[in-house]
Structure 1
Amino acid sequence: MARPESGDPLWYKDAIIYQLHIKAFFDANNDGIGDFEGLTHKLDYLQDLGVTALWLLPFYPSPLRDDGYDIADYKNIHPAYGRMADFKAFAREAHRRGLRIITELVINHTSDQHPWFQRARRASPGSALRDFYVWSDTDQKFLETRIIFIDTEKSNWIWDPVAQAYYWHRFYSHQPDLNFDSPRVFRAISHVMQFWLDLGVDGMRLDAVPYLIEREGTINENLPETHEILKRLRREMDRRYGDRMLLAEANQWPEDVLHYFGAGDECHMAFHFPLMPRIYMALATEDRHPVTDIVRQTPEIPESCQWAVFLRNHDELTLEMVTDRERDYLWDYYAADRRARLNLGIRRRLAPLMENDRRKIELLKGLLLSMPGTPVLYYGDEIGMGDNVYLGDRDGVRTPMQWSPDRNGGFSRADPAMLYLPPIMDPVYGFEAVNVEAQSRSPSSLL
């Protein structure tokens, strides 16, 4: 498959990454759900925008109970988003325009509908098939481990009536964790990585990497064995490809994330999670020290590695990496409406967080682009899209892209009732007021 002209193995160090969800971008077949054909139609827009890499949220077959992060088949395309031929056409056209492609490699867990789990729950205890996941006869193991989704989960264990045992899950209870102590699991995940790299994917975001290994007496985060797994995965990548990239999602302090780079032999990139809330804190307090302090605390990383920096993404604006007092302050300042709060974060887009103040939006974007690291932009933020706190979970920041003032914001010609989520329609951020077409015609617009 055609590759971008630049063969620079360090392309990710000066990239501009644009994050999008296939279902939210553009609907080519007018069934109410965005698809790969629609994304391919909009590649010229993305090229003109000046971004150099596209990060696609999960597009694999899935029950969609966690927006695709509950994967039921790693090597296929969800039928709502198109066929494998559509992905290949998209990859070919993106590369023709010099755009790199980053996809998700969700290696910590699967859906409970994945064939691996369905086989495991019916297999004999101690068998190779059973050991694809983490099982226990009791829910009293690993008690030192925190619960991540405190709003929905009461335990990291859940009873499975088919297996007659508890299985381990760090996220939702329908997402059982894979058991990387099993050699078969590593081989299976390695084959998934190779499958997509062979199809032309340039980089892979490794979801939830701190939680791959479980050991009694620990908090089950950042364990040494996790880094051995990542080193092996990196060796598998480098053995066959010279210009691909692994991006770690590790919501940890910089000194802990440092280990995910290894000696330049683990992940090429990692998100700088603690920087993001401190940018918002600095703005709220009109004080530079939250930003300068965390930048000063950020350790040097290997020459071939890079931080990924961001203002918003598809999840809540996480406040895990601040003190309780700082979290309360940020909640009160940016999420006085409690409906905007989720878990330990805020489920709002950039423009509403800034109360649609253009000066503040430009200030934060200027700060982002001046930070050490590769910037990651979230779809729609380039035009100042709004959100909908009345939608459940994180759906309020995952609404359809607003292309024009036409039907459904130009996203789809489908009956509005068929859309995967309703577009934003309020008088301030609605698609009649905020859209690409209008801003493209205005020299002074955000776009």
Structure 2
Amino acid sequence: MAAPWWKGAVLYHVYIRSFLDTDGDGYGDLPGVEAKLDYIKSLGVDAVWLSPIHPSPDRDWGYDVADFEGVHRDYGGMDAFNSFLNAAHAKGLKVLIDEVLSHTSDEHAWFVESLTGGKDGEKADWYVWADPKEDGTAPNNWLSVFGGPAWAYQPARRQHYHHKFLRQQPKLNWRNPQAAEAALSVLDYWLEKGIDGFRLDVAGTYLHDETLTDNPPVPVAERTRHDWSHAGNLQRHFHDSNLPENEQVLEVIRRRVEQHGDRFVFGEFSEEEDRCGGYLAPDVGLHSGYTFVLLLQRKLTPAFVKAHYETLGRYPAHWPTISFANHDVVRTVSRFGGSEATPELAKQLFALLLALKGTTIIYQGEELGLPQAALTRDQLRDPVGDLYWPYSGGRDGCRTPMPWDSAEPNLGFTAGESWLPMAREHQGLSVAAQEADPDSPLAFARQMIALRKGSSALSRGELAFLEAPDPVLAFVREDGAERIACIFNFSDNPAFPTLPELEGGELIATRAGDAELRGGSLGLSPHAAVFVRLP
């Protein structure tokens, strides 16, 4: 039986608002994504994952949906989406959309009716409402990811509604059968239009504890820098989200999606890493998913990579999704390299991303080795960035527009004034500049994707770590008779590991940095990524 198309596939994540603007309003749009489909196809990827496309007041830039059956006017509306979808399919690219079903905008018609229709109205319980405590304060201690209590008081109902994120993002009540069916019907609507699947935002948050039990704190001694970064991270989110029975909702979602044929649904799990594997198995939960463990890590070490796969290994049926970057976190080369965010490091990190077991997600610009953009407070558009300034620059530094051509105004992104400033750090890293350089990160990215696509071991094989001295990471990907060793030097200095498993192996031409193989002895340049075909 053939493996499903998504197992080992490479997905390209497009943040539409920052990809390409075709009408001069400063916002990227769907005609812009369609215009660059040949570029996306040239990378060798299998599918495009689009950031949220629906109409939204943009309090959280599309993650606050006001109409699940529409397409944002900034992006060109439904006609533009249909044109893009047909064009992508004609080029052999599958299309996935970002769907936000845990919450809506407070401007969505469902919430307006829930708020104004009274406690006995048809949609009264479509959202999570609760009475205040006797002293008028919030029903419990749940905290919002974006800071402060996760409750907002509404005098019209004399109740609070729950919001895990912004106050303008009320939580949909998946325990109400009518609300759950309405959300599931959203999936049907888009699948019937011909899309190939979904990425589900915050997929661990559909269910809440109906008793509204307080969340326990993260013990002070166990708190990391990440825990302290946002107040909401100081709690274990066991009762407002991450409930074990959330698995049942995810299974219903997956089976609903599978009714439409060979489609793919994967989820984002932002907290409680161990739950991710429990939500994902062949017959339970979603097809795949990822946590923020790889996305938030600041230092790349062999021990860290091994520990992550040890966690995944507790769920052997789980097929992971692997991502180093997205629209929420510091860009990969800056996060792991800091001021030493060099093209050589970018190549190594891209090679590692493609070599690890899982379905791979590339965030737009990652193939160019783009570093994080440094923005001033007056340039920010992200509510999180403004809230936590100057402790955190927010998420806008990874959302700046794609640099297409250094010789063009606004690096070829727009003829107008871009919604976020063009990053000065990207001036010499445009697509046009890298197309002309055979040693560029872009050229390497294409080679690496081709290597991955041409190898069943790298695409779908199992992963087993080899014993290697720090700072070298080594593992073997194996599928049937094909075995490929993947070796990475995480140091700024050369490394000379001896790995007996490499005896009789052959260096593969695609590599980052320099390498020399003599028997089981390997010489590696700084930040090298090397692949050896084993007998």
Task: Pick the TM interval, shorter chain.
Answer: 0.7 to 0.9
Cα 1:253–1:137 shift into 2, 3 Å: closer
Aligned to 2:447: none
Q: Which moved more, 1:222-231 or 1:103-112?
A: 222-231
- In 1, the alpha carbon distance for the partners of 2:244 and 2:121 equals 26
Equivalent residue of 1:167, what SS?
strand
CA-to-partner distance for each residue in 1:111-132, whole Å, 9 max, x for gaps? 0011111111001214331111
CA-to-partner distance for each residue in 1:380-408, whole Å, 9 max, x for gaps? 12112241332432222111111002011
Is 1:104 aligned to residue 98 of structure 2? yes
- Cα distance, 1:17 vs. partner? 1.0
Letter aligned with residue 281 of structure 1:
K
Aligned to 1:374: 359
Aligned to 2:145: 148
8 Å contact 2:319–2:358 — kept in the other structure? yes
Cα 1:249–1:211 shift into 2, 3 Å: same
Is 1:264 aligned to residue 283 of structure 2? yes
Equivalent residue of 1:112, what SS?
coil
CA-to-partner distance for each residue in 1:118-156, whole Å, 9 max, x for gaps? 11100121433111111112166763544322xxx3101
- Cα distance, 1:359 vs. partner? 2.3
Matches within 5 A, 1:130-169: 130-138=124-132, 143=140, 145-149=142-146, 153-169=147-163
- In 2, the alpha carbon distance for the partners of 1:51 and 1:147 equals 36
Equivalent residue of 1:294, what SS?
helix
Aligned to 1:338: none
Aligned to 2:246: 226
Equivalent residue of 1:46, what SS?
helix
- Cα distance, 1:272 vs. partner? 4.0
CA RMSD after TM alignment: 2.1
CA-to-partner distance for each residue in 1:422-447, whole Å, 9 max, x for gaps? 211x3xx243x221111101111111
8 Å contact 2:254–2:287 — kept in the other structure? no
Cα 1:133–1:9 shift into 2, 3 Å: farther
Aligned to 1:362: 347
Equivalent residue of 2:434, what SS?
helix
- In 2, the alpha carbon distance for the partners of 1:90 and 1:302 equals 37
- Cα distance, 1:254 vs. partner? 4.6
Letter aligned with residue 404 of structure 1:
D
Aligned to 1:330: none
8 Å contact 1:146–1:219 — kept in the other structure? no
- Cα distance, 1:160 vs. partner? 1.6
Equivalent residue of 2:12, what SS?
strand
Equivalent residue of 2:119, what SS?
coil
Equivalent residue of 1:249, what SS?
strand
Aligned to 1:297: 311
- Cα distance, 1:264 vs. partner? 2.6
Cα 1:440–1:36 shift into 2, 3 Å: same
Aligned to 1:321: none
Aligned to 2:78: 84
Cα 1:33–1:378 shift into 2, 3 Å: same
Letter aligned with residue 172 of structure 2:
L
- Select 1:55's aligned residue among 49, 53, 56: 49
Cα 1:8–1:122 shift into 2, 3 Å: farther
CA-to-partner distance for each residue in 1:141-184, whole Å, 9 max, x for gaps? 763544322xxx31011112333321101111110000111111
Letter aligned with residue 40 of structure 1:
E
- Cα distance, 1:24 vs. partner? 1.0
- In 2, the alpha carbon distance for the partners of 1:352 and 1:267 equals 31
- In 2, the alpha carbon distance for the partners of 1:243 and 1:263 equals 14
8 Å contact 1:275–1:295 — kept in the other structure? no
8 Å contact 1:9–1:244 — kept in the other structure? no
- Cα distance, 1:9 vs. partner? 6.6
Equivalent residue of 1:170, what SS?
coil
Aligned to 1:396: 397
- Select 1:412's aligned residue among 414, 422, 425: 414
Letter aligned with residue 357 of structure 1:
T
- Select 1:281's aligned residue among 295, 299, 306: 299
8 Å contact 2:19–2:33 — kept in the other structure? yes
CA-to-partner distance for each residue in 1:279-302, whole Å, 9 max, x for gaps? x423xxxx4212112212322546
Q: Which has the higher contact order (CA 8 A, sep 6+)?
A: 1
- Cα distance, 1:13 vs. partner? 1.0
- In 2, the alpha carbon distance for the partners of 1:352 and 1:257 equals 26
8 Å contact 1:132–1:185 — kept in the other structure? yes
Aligned to 2:433: 438
Matches within 5 A, 1:307-326: 307-316=320-329
**Mind listing any 5+ residue stretches in structure 1 that lack a counterpart?**
1-6, 317-347
Equivalent residue of 1:352, what SS?
helix
8 Å contact 2:347–2:369 — kept in the other structure? no
- Cα distance, 1:8 vs. partner? 6.5
Q: Percent identity?
A: 32
- Cα distance, 1:350 vs. partner? 2.6
- State which structure, 1 or 2, has the greater radius of gyration over its C-alpha atoms: 2
CA-to-partner distance for each residue in 1:304-343, whole Å, 9 max, x for gaps? x521111111003xxxxxxxxxxxxxxxxxxxxxxxxxxx
Letter aligned with residue 260 of structure 1:
Y
Aligned to 1:73: 67
8 Å contact 2:152–2:160 — kept in the other structure? yes
8 Å contact 1:17–1:377 — kept in the other structure? yes
Normalised by the size of structure 2, how large is the TM-score? 0.70
- In 2, the alpha carbon distance for the partners of 1:358 and 1:441 equals 15
Letter aligned with residue 422 of structure 2:
P
8 Å contact 2:350–2:367 — kept in the other structure? no
- In 1, the alpha carbon distance for the partners of 2:208 and 2:138 equals 10
- In 2, the alpha carbon distance for the partners of 1:8 and 1:141 equals 52
Aligned to 2:421: 422
Equivalent residue of 1:196, what SS?
helix
- Cα distance, 1:62 vs. partner? 0.3
- Cα distance, 1:253 vs. partner? 4.5
Equivalent residue of 1:258, what SS?
helix
- Select 1:237's aligned residue among 230, 240, 257: 257
Greater per-residue strand proportion: 2
- Select 1:352's aligned residue among 334, 341, 362: 334
- Cα distance, 1:367 vs. partner? 1.7
